[in-house]
Structure 1
Amino acid sequence: MADAASIPQPGILGGRGLRRAFVVLGALFLAGCDTVVPRGPAPPPPPPRITQPQVEPGIPTDTERHRVALLVPLSGPNAGVGQSLANATQLALLDSRSERVRITTYDTATGASAAAQRAIADGNRLILGPLLGEDVRAVTPIARAARVPVVSFSNDTAAVGQGAYLMGYAPGQSIQRVVDYAKAQGITSFAGLIPNGTYGERASTAYLRAVENARGQVVSLQTYQRVPGSITAALTRMAKDSPYQALLIADGGNTAANAVPVMRRIGNGGARVLGTELWNSESAIATKPALNGAWFASVSDNLYRQYAAKYRARFGAAPFRLSSLGYDAVLLTIRIARDWRVGTPFPEERLHDRGGFAGIDGAFRFRGDGIAERALEVQEIRGGTTVTVSAAPTGFE
C-alpha cells in the first residue's frame, strides 16, 4: 500500500454551488512478497538476537485528517489504469490543498477482499474504488459490515447497492442522451448492432427503452460475435428489415469503424451512426474517416483537456481517460469532509445530495440506486476532430 500526503486549500463545491464549482475547477487548472531461498551450503549460525522496538501494526493514527482508502490494481494487466487513478488522486489533493483528507492506496490485483480488509483494519472510513465489477462485489460485504461506504470506479450496474456506489460511465445514460438528440433532429426509425455478452445485453435493453421513451421505433436489432464475418452477417440480416435513419453500434471505435463501410455497402448508406460512452475513452476516435458524422454522448472534455496537460507535466505520461474518476472522487470527498468530524463514520447520506457535485467530468449526482447520474454532452466526429453539437447541462434541477 502507498500513502499520499495532502497539502492545504479549499475544496470544490457541490449541490447548489455547481456553477461556481466549475469556475473554481477552471481556476485550479490554470493556476508483502514471498522470498525464494536458493539451495546451497548450510548457512552460518545466526548472529546474536537484538531486541527491536515494538511497532504497532498498520499505519500511524492520524487524528487531524480523514482516512480514505484507494483500492486499485497496481500490478497485473490493469496496473496502468490503476496507477493513473492513483496519480489522479494525488493531483486532486495537490490542486485542492486539502488538509482534511489522507489517502492510502491498496493493490487489488493481489486480492480485492484482502485489500479491503487491510484498509478497514488501518482505520479508513471510506473506500474509493475498486475498478472492476467483480472486485466491487468482493469488497462490498466486507465494507458494509464495517459501515464503510464504497465509491467505485466501475460501471457494472449489477455491483451497485449495499453501500456500493458507481462512478463509472453507465452505457444506458449515454445511449438515452444520444437517442434523445437524434430524435430532436427528426430521426424516428432506429437500428442497433449489438455484440454478444453482458455489455451488449445491457446496451440493447437501454437502447430499446431509450427509443421507446423518445417515441421512436427500433426496426432492426442484430447481434454479432467478435469473430471474422459475424458483423457482415448481422448487417446483411439487418438490410432485409425496414429502412432505418440511425444505427447504434454498441462497441468500441475500432469495431464501429470496421462495420460502417459494410453498412454503407450492403445496408442503408445514408443512416446516421450512433456510438456509446466507450468512444470517449479512445483518444484516436476522431481520426477514423469511416466515423465522420457519427454522434455519441459522453462527459465533457473541456476541463479534462486541462487536467490531462497538468497530469502529463507532473507524471511524464498521458493519463488514462478513466483517471478523471479518481480526481473527481477526491473532490467529492473533500466537499463532504468539510462537515465530517475526524474519527467518525463517513456520512453516507451526503452522497445523496440531489443538487449533485462538480468535477472534471462535469456535474454528477448519485441516484437512489447508487449509480452516478451524469450531465452529458453530444459530440459529432467531424473532419478529424470532435465537435460538441449539444452541450451538457451545468447542473441538476
Structure 2
Amino acid sequence: MTASRIAGSAAAAILLFLVGACASPQATRQAEQPQQPPEEVALPEEEMARPFYDDGRTRVALLAPLSGEHAPVGQALVNAAQMALFDIGEDDFALAVKDTAASGSSVNLALEESIEEGAQLVLGPLFASDVRAVRGTAMGSGLPLLVFSNDRTLAGNGVYVMGLTPQAEVERVVDYAQRNGLRRIGLLMPDSAYGDAIRSALREATQRFGGDLVEVVTYDPRSPDFSQPVRQFAQSATSRYDAVLVPAGGRELLSLAAQLANYNVDPSQIQYLGTRLWENRALGAEPALAGGWFASPARGSWERFAERYREIYDARPPRIASVAYDSTAMAAALAQDAAQNGNDQPYDRGSLENPNGFAGVDGLFRLQSNGQVERGLAVYELQRDAFIELEEAPRSFEVLIN
C-alpha cells in the first residue's frame, strides 16, 4: 500500500511542485483568471433567503492569530494554506479564515462562527491554550480539529495534533542509534515542559527498542552558566553511556556542547544525539557537535516549499508553515474524494484516519485514532555547514517498525 490522496492522483500537484514545478505568483485560484463582471440573475425568493454557506460546498475553517503579537506567524499559516488551495483546491471547497487574536474569548468566537457557517473541519488553532479553550465546544458539535500545536497531550476526542512533535523525532533517532549498537543513552535536558516531553519520549523509545535510559540531568535554560549540571552529567559518561541526547538549539546548545567536551564527554567515543532544534548548519562549526545525529522531515521537500513561498510572498516562511500547507492540502484532497464517491461526510474518522496515510511537504504522515500523528522522518548527521542524510524517510508506512 502507498500513502493515499495527497501522494496520489489528486495530490500530484503537490508532489510535482515539490520536484520543481514553476510557481505561480498567485496564491489562490480566484486570482488565476481575470475577473469578469458578474451577470445579474434573478433568483427564486427561497434561494435568496438561503444562508450563503448553504451552497453545497465543503466548508473548512482555519483558525489563526491574525492580530496581536503573533500575527506574522498567523499570516504565514494563511499564506501556506492559500498555496495548498492553489495546488489542489476545487471550486466546491471553501476555506474560511478566522482570527483567534490574543485571547481565549476570540478563539471561542472564531470557533462558534465556524460552526454557524457550516464548517465540517477546523484547521488550528495554533496555541495549546487556545485548543484547550475550544475543544469542549468542538467535541460537543462533533467537529474535528487539526491543531497546529505540537503538544501531544492535546490529542484525542476529535483533536489531531498536526505539529511536528519531539516524540516523533526522539523515537526515530533512538531507533536508528540502537540499530547501530548504541543502547545506553544519557539525557541532558532543560528543566521545562519541552524537556519533560523529551524525557518521556526517550523513556518510551528506549523501552520500545530495547535500550536503556541510564542517566538524566536537568539544567536551567535561563541560567548563564551550565557548568555544574554538565559536570554532574559528565562524571559517569565514559563508563555508562553509548550516546547522549541534548535537546537544545542555538547558543544554548553551543554552550552545552563545548562544556561537555571540556568535561571529557568525548564525541569520538560517545555519540551525540539531538532533535530538530539541531537543524541549523551553523551548529556544525562546534567540533563536539559535528557528527551528531538528529531526525527531521526530509529536508529537500521543505527547502523547495520554502523557496516557492519566498517567490510568492517575498519572505522566508516559519517552519510551522508546512504544517498548515499539509493540513489544508489533506482537507482539500479528502473533499475531492468525497465528492467523487458521493459521500457527504468527507471528514469522518475513516477518511481522516486512513491507514495508508498522506504525503506532503513534511513527508509521510497519518492520523491515528488517539489523535496523534505518525510521521516518517529521515535521520541526518550534522557536519560543518552541511547535513548528511544517513537514512532516508520511509516512502510508505509498510516499512516503519511497529
Range of TM-score over shorter length: 0.7 to 0.9
SS at match of 1:291: coil
SS at match of 1:209: helix
- Residues 13 and 88 in structure 2, CA contact (< 8 A), matched pair in contact too: no
How far apart, CA to CA, are the structure 2 residues paired with 1:212 and 1:386?
29
What residue is the counterpart of 1:314 in the other structure?
Answer: 312
Deviations along 1:47-75, one digit per CA (max 9) or x if unpaired, are xxxxxxxxx99983252521111001112
TM superposition shift of 1:332: 0.8
One-letter code of the match for 2:375? R
One-letter code of the match for 2:363? G
**TM-score normalized by the length of structure 1:** 0.83
- Residues 6 and 14 in structure 2, CA contact (< 8 A), matched pair in contact too: no
What residue is the counterpart of 1:134 in the other structure?
Answer: 129
Q: Relative to 1, partners in 2 of residues 1:113 and 1:222: Cα closer, same or farther, differing over 3 Å?
A: same
Q: 1:93 aligns with which of 81, 85, 88?
A: 85
TM superposition shift of 1:327: 0.7
What residue is the counterpart of 2:367 in the other structure?
Answer: 366
One-letter code of the match for 1:70? L
What residue is the counterpart of 1:25 in the other structure?
Answer: 14
Range that drifts further, 81-90 or 135-144: 135-144
Q: 2:256 aligns with which of 240, 259, 275?
A: 259
Range that drifts further, 381-390 or 72-81: 72-81
How far apart, CA to CA, are the structure 2 residues paired with 1:283 and 1:136?
33
TM superposition shift of 1:188: 2.4
Equivalences for residues 1-397 of structure 1 within 5 A? 14-15=3-4, 18=7, 24-29=13-18, 30-31=21-22, 60-61=52-53, 63-110=55-102, 111-228=106-223, 231-243=226-238, 244-270=241-267, 271-280=270-279, 285=283, 291-340=289-338, 344-349=344-349, 350-397=351-398
How far apart, CA to CA, are the structure 2 residues paired with 1:192 and 1:21?
44
One-letter code of the match for 1:365? R
Q: Relative to 1, partners in 2 of residues 1:354 and 1:99: Cα closer, same or farther, differing over 3 Å?
A: same
How far apart, CA to CA, are the structure 2 residues paired with 1:314 and 1:16?
25
Deviations along 1:281-323, one digit per CA (max 9) or x if unpaired, are x575556665321111011121111111111111110111110
Deviations along 1:189-224, one digit per CA (max 9) or x if unpaired, are 211111112221121111122123332223321011
Deviations along 1:63-109, one digit per CA (max 9) or x if unpaired, are 25211110011122322221111100001111224223211111112
Structure 2 runs not aligned, ≥5 long: 23-47
How far apart, CA to CA, are the structure 2 residues paired with 1:98 and 1:213?
43
Q: Relative to 1, partners in 2 of residues 1:343 and 1:373: Cα closer, same or farther, differing over 3 Å?
A: closer
- Residues 58 and 121 in structure 1, CA contact (< 8 A), matched pair in contact too: no
- Residues 352 and 365 in structure 1, CA contact (< 8 A), matched pair in contact too: yes
What residue is the counterpart of 1:38 in the other structure?
Answer: none
TM superposition shift of 1:242: 4.5
One-letter code of the match for 1:258? S
- Residues 189 and 216 in structure 1, CA contact (< 8 A), matched pair in contact too: yes
Q: Relative to 1, partners in 2 of residues 1:141 and 1:285: Cα closer, same or farther, differing over 3 Å?
A: farther
How far apart, CA to CA, are the structure 1 residues paired with 2:391 and 2:76?
29
- Residues 14 and 21 in structure 1, CA contact (< 8 A), matched pair in contact too: no
Q: How much is the aligned-residue C-alpha RMSD, in angstroms? A: 2.6
Q: Relative to 1, partners in 2 of residues 1:57 and 1:304: Cα closer, same or farther, differing over 3 Å?
A: farther
One-letter code of the match for 1:377? A
TM superposition shift of 1:116: 0.8
Range that drifts further, 269-278 or 322-331: 269-278
One-letter code of the match for 2:255? N
TM superposition shift of 1:15: 2.7
- Residues 147 and 162 in structure 2, CA contact (< 8 A), matched pair in contact too: yes
Range that drifts further, 213-222 or 385-394: 213-222
Q: Relative to 1, partners in 2 of residues 1:143 and 1:22: Cα closer, same or farther, differing over 3 Å?
A: closer
**TM-score normalized by the length of structure 2:** 0.82
- Residues 195 and 247 in structure 2, CA contact (< 8 A), matched pair in contact too: yes
One-letter code of the match for 2:273? L
Q: Relative to 1, partners in 2 of residues 1:23 and 1:346: Cα closer, same or farther, differing over 3 Å?
A: closer
Deviations along 1:143-198, one digit per CA (max 9) or x if unpaired, are 22222110111111111112111111121111011111112222222111111122
Structure 1 runs not aligned, ≥5 long: 1-12, 32-55
Q: Relative to 1, partners in 2 of residues 1:207 and 1:116: Cα closer, same or farther, differing over 3 Å?
A: same
SS at match of 2:98: strand
How far apart, CA to CA, are the structure 2 residues paired with 1:215 and 1:287?
33
Q: Relative to 1, partners in 2 of residues 1:116 and 1:16: Cα closer, same or farther, differing over 3 Å?
A: closer
How far apart, CA to CA, are the structure 1 residues paired with 2:211 and 2:352?
35
Deviations along 1:98-145, one digit per CA (max 9) or x if unpaired, are 223211111112421121112212222210011111111112111222
